[in-house]
Amino acid sequence: MAWEIVVGIESHTQLLTRSKMFSGAANAFGAAPNTQASAVDIALPGTLPVANLAAIEHAIRFGLAVQGRISARSVFARKNYFYPDLPKGYQISQYEIPIVQGGTVRFFVDKAEKSIRLTRAHLEEDAGKSLHENFTDLSGIDLNRAGTPLLEIVTEPELRGAKEAVAYARALHALVVWIGICDGNMQEGSFRCDANVSVRKIGDEELGTRCEIKNLNSFRFMEQAIEFEARRQIEILQDGGSIEQQTRLYDADRNETRPMRSKEDAQDYRYFPDPDLLPLVITEADIERIGASMPELPEQKRKRYAEKFDLPAYDVSLLTESREKANYFEQSLAAGFAAVTPKLAANWLNGEIASKMNDENLAFAALPVSPEGFAKLLSRVQDGTISQKAAKDVLTEMWAGQRDPDSVIAAKGLKQISDSGAIEKIVDEVLAANAKQVEDYRAGKEKAFNSLVGQVMKRSQGKANPAQVNETMRRKLAG
């Protein structure tokens, strides 16, 4: 029996603002407990919410970036439930009319481009935090996070499988960081996802009963959780059982999901329009003004790079992973080294630089090598001054703080030997000293050739121009 896994994702994106959604308290991470919880945030009687313009503008930016419809009139509603970290007894959210409706996010799975439709994106405030450690029969409540502006972004249930869901979530994460509405810090909870997972037999029209996995704060956990949950559901159905609609939690230590609450005690949030807040009106002029402040979007950049630089789609998708990376790429091409081709720069950025950054968990903002220095280094590869291999050593030195690749090349004696007379001399020496391998090669053993080239490289201390060595060797052996 073949099964299809159907996933919808809800993402809670913390909006990058100085102050909270409905109060003037600071919206910074990591402050001492309750020092950023104002009278509004702790729900003292008589306080009233006043919405943050920047949060609303961020939501509009998102709507524009995904080509959704920005509601001319949207409504804040109260979502009522009781929990100690929600002092008002309700969360201000949007229900019937969200600020953004529809939209599309494009992403790549195994180098193939896909897209997913969004249902909606709505503004809401976050709750506080309950802390259970350090207390025996008590919970400690920190309301610093209460009132933090969130944009909840909801997809249609149209993602197929864990891999696709994660690829979407990564692309969404990159997008909200790109347009500057979220800092993207998942350890600090700035971007958290819930996954709605159901399974059905391939060919079935109707969706299966879904379970919602809450609070996935890493892409790896998201993939594992969806995979586990889908397997769990398939096993139940294969044994003739049925799925109970549930909210579940993922336990990373055990790699399993387990029920949090089931449908019987499902919440009835009794939404109603918040009488403290008038409907939110957004005019065409507002949208136009915000649109004018938007950066070039990843998709627009991808299109431009593919056309202007004639780069493969996959290279382009890697270059546009982040705005910082794309900017670095553009700055290195604009640094005044005409020999540096887009393809060469792309290969190095997506290869050597990416792997070094990965090793050290660095962001582009913290990259120790400037785009100009990087371009100069590449130009030295392009004009034959150094080999690709030597360039990697130079890059390592530059990473450690050296600015000018030329002085590293001079200091380490990495300049490549491209003088044909000198190369010919070494090749002759190697051929004379290895009669057996020359014979082997002539008898058809290609391996012998590589060994001879290797010896030339060794004798030249790795400095001989490899292309020239190959060419000279072939010529001599043929002669």
Residues that bind other proteins in the complex, under the rule CB under 8 A: 17-19, 23-27, 32-39, 42, 44, 50-56, 75, 80, 82-84, 97, 130-132, 134-143, 260-261, 268, 270, 273, 275, 277-281
Which run of H or of E encompasses 453?
Answer: helix 446-459
Minimal distance, residue 250 CB to other proteins, in Å: 15
**How far apart are CB 100 and other proteins at their closest, in Å?**
17
Write the DSSP string, 247-262: EEEEETTTTEEEEEEE
- Minimum distance, C-beta of residue 267 to other proteins, in the bound complex (Å): 9
Residue 261 or 445 having the CB closest to other proteins:
261
- Strand 69-70, strand 211-216: pairing: unpaired
Q: Return the number of the residue (2 or 32) whose C-beta is nearest other proteins.
A: 32
Taking the least distance from each CB to other proteins, the nearer of 147 and 208 is 147
Shortest distance, position 128 Cβ to other proteins, whole Å: 9
To the nearest whole angstrom, how small is the minimum distance from the Cβ of residue 143 to other proteins? 7
The residues with which 200 forms a beta bridge, in sequence order, are 4
By C-beta, is 56 or 345 nearer to other proteins? 56
- Nearest distance, CB of residue 368 and other proteins, angstroms: 33
Distance, CA of 177 to chain centre: 9
CA distance 234 to 242: 10
Give the residue with the Cβ less far from other proteins, 135 or 432.
135
Tally of CB atoms within 10 A around 158: 15
CB atoms under 10 Å from CB of 131, counted, come to: 14
Give the number of other CB atoms < 10 A from CB of residue 1.
7
Closest CA to 403 of 354, 351, 368, 365: 368
| Of residues 279 and 336, the one with the C-beta less far from other proteins | 279
The neighbour count for residue 188, using CB atoms within 10 Å, is 12
Which of residues 275 and 401 has its CB atom nearest to other proteins in the complex?
275
Report in angstroms how near the CB of residue 137 gets to other proteins at its nearest: 5
Cβ 96 to other proteins shortest distance, Å: 8
Bridge partners for 5 per DSSP: 199
Beta-bridged to residue 91, according to DSSP, are 79
Please, which residue, 37 or 377, has the CB nearer to other proteins? 37
DSSP bridge partners of 124: 150
175 exposure class (CB count in 10 Å sphere: 0-12, 13-18, 19+): buried
